[in-house]
Amino acid sequence: MKKTMFIALVLISAFATGFAQSKTPSTVMAAFKEKFPSATDVKWGKESAKEYEAAFKLNGGNYSASFDNAGVWLETESPLKFDQLPDKVQNAFDASHKGQTIKAISKIETSKGTMKYEIEVKQGSKTLELFYHEDGTKASE
């Protein structure tokens, strides 16, 4: 019985992933392929009515990139380690959250030429997302 349930869940998951992939407009997928030609293990999701997000592997890391309905690139999140953050971001984080368990760190590059950094910390059973500009000041989501 457990084996049957497991197989059913795997099939449902595979179908749902395939369905999400097929609903991504071809213009969006083409724009992604042009910007990230060597990306592998690409999985698509819909962030909103006007935004699609691709999660993928690139150079051994897990990345994500967002595109609008027309295929215009919006932003890319790439993984970082704490010591790779700008010193001012490290100092700002340490000043207010030193000692908290860090779940993930990302550099977010936007199509507007801005850069911000996201640090996800564990707070009880929840995850808190903290955003910083390169100069260490708080940034909005």
Token pair of 85 as six digits: 């953050």
Q: What sign does the dihedral 15-16-21-25 (CA atoms) show?
A: positive
**Average pLDDT of the residues of the chain:** 86
Domain at 80-141, CATH from 3.40.50.920, 3.10.450.360, 3.40.605.10, 3.90.550.10? 3.10.450.360
Three-state DSSP class for residue 141: coil
What is the signed CA dihedral for 96, 85, 78, 99, rounded to 10 degrees?
A: -40
What is the signed CA dihedral for 75, 76, 79, 81, rounded to 10 degrees?
A: -50
User: What's residue 98's pLDDT?
Assistant: 86
Q: Where are the domains of the chain?
A: 1-74, 80-141
Q: What is the mean pLDDT of residues 117-122?
A: 96
pLDDT in tens, 55-79: 999 998 999 999 999 999 999 999 9
1-74: what fold?
Nuclear Transport Factor 2; Chain: A, (3.10.450)
Q: Of 102, 134, 92, 104, nearest to 116 (Cα)?
A: 134
